[in-house]
């Protein structure tokens, strides 16, 4: 992260064009979810997707790097999933009898603070892009229930024809105890 902060802001047009393309992709993705096109959303996921949301701990000063977040591949996190399980989540919602999401929630995904952290092999020929952003997801359910999920997100996107596939998504929800009663929506 610190290396990214130190990058000079001397970018050429290709960089701005790529950033614009990535932003459009992320906004399009948010539209698919908010329009409840869950199957369309699944099509944006790479077959080897890693989808990870750690649980955050309250730790003593100085121990954050080591202990604050649960780790991918170890122990229990909110999500440490692959494309298959996300497909199952979608299938489950689409049964119409999954009562954590029936009736379906009203959801808005907002994405901001978009930054390209890494472009490989080059800005002129980008095959893989690591992009960080903030997310603000608003969920409203049935009559009176609403939840706001705010956090930081890092995605790895892979070039796929004239679009992109999400190969890795790491979501840092800024909560210790989950303040919503469940995580029935897709992030």
Partner 1 sequence: MIGIGPSAQAGQSGRRDNEYNKGQHVWVSFPQGHGVHSVWMPEEFQYQPSYMQYPVVDEYFRHCFEERKRRLGDKARIMPFTGNLFPNTSYHGRQPRGLCVWHPHSPTETEAWRFFLVDADAPAEVKDVLRRFYMRYSGPAGMTEQDDMENWLYATSASSGTIARRYPFNYQQSMGAYKRNDPLPGDVSVQITEQNARNYYDVYARYLKGDGWDSLLGHGDVVRQAAE
State which residue, 91 or 174, has the beta carbon closest to partner 1. Answer: 91
Contacting residue, 79, 135, 149, 164, with partner 1 by CB under 8 A: 79
State which residue, 15 or 78, has the beta carbon closest to partner 1. Answer: 78
Q: Which of residues 33-72 bind partner 1 (CB under 8 A)?
A: 53
Contacting residue, 80, 126, 169, 186, with partner 1 by CB under 8 A: 80
Q: Which of residues 112-151 bind partner 1 (CB under 8 A)?
A: none
Site string for partner 1, 163-182 (x = CB under 8 A): ---------------x-xxx
Least distance (Å) between residue 58 CB and partner 1: 15
**CA distance readout (Å), 109 to 1, 2, 120, 138:** 24, 27, 27, 7
Q: Is 103 in the site for partner 1 (CB under 8 A)?
A: no
Query: How would DSSP label each residue in the chain?
Result: -HHHHH--S---HHHHHHHHHHHHHHHHHHHHHHTT-HHHHHTTEEEEEEEEEPPB----TT-HHHHSB--TTSS--SEEE-HHHHHHHHHHHTTS--TTSSSPPEEEEEEEEEEEEEEEEETTEEEEEEEEEEEEEEEEETTTEEEEEEEEEEEEEEEETTEEEEEEEEEEES-SS-SSS---S--
Least distance (Å) between residue 39 CB and partner 1: 14
Q: Which two tokens stand for residue 120?
A: 């490989």
Least distance (Å) between residue 186 CB and partner 1: 11
Contacting residue, 20, 35, 63, 85, with partner 1 by CB under 8 A: 85
Residues in contact with partner 1, counted by CB under 8 A, come to a total of: 25
Q: Is 183 in the site for partner 1 (CB under 8 A)?
A: yes
Q: Is the peptide bond before 126 cis (omega within 30 degrees of 0)?
A: no
State which residue, 14 or 104, has the beta carbon closest to partner 1. Answer: 104
Binding residues vs partner 1 (CB under 8 A): 53, 73, 75-81, 84-85, 88-89, 91-92, 95, 98-100, 178, 180-184
């Amino acid at each position: 992260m610190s290396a990214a902060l130190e990058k000079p802001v001397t970018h050429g047009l290709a960089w701005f064009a790529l950033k614009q393309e990535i932003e459009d992709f992320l906004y399009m993705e948010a539209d698919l979810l908010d329009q409840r096109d869950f199957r369309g959303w699944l099509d944006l996921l790479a077959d080897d997707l890693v989808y990870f949301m750690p649980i955050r701990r309250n730790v003593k000063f100085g121990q954050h790097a080591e202990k604050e977040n649960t780790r991918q591949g170890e122990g229990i996190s909110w999500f440490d999933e692959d494309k298959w399980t996300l497909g199952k989540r979608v299938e489950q919602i689409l049964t119409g009898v999954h009562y954590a999401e029936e009736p379906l929630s009203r959801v808005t995904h907002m994405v901001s603070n978009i930054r390209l952290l890494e472009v490989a092999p080059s800005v002129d020929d980008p095959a893989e892009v690591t992009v960080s952003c903030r997310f603000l997801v608003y969920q409203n359910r049935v009559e009176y229930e609403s939840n706001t999920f705010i956090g930081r997100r890092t995605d790895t996107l892979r070039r796929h024809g004239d679009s992109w596939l999400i190969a890795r998504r790491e979501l840092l929800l800024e909560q210790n105890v989950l303040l919503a009663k469940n995580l029935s929506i897709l992030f």
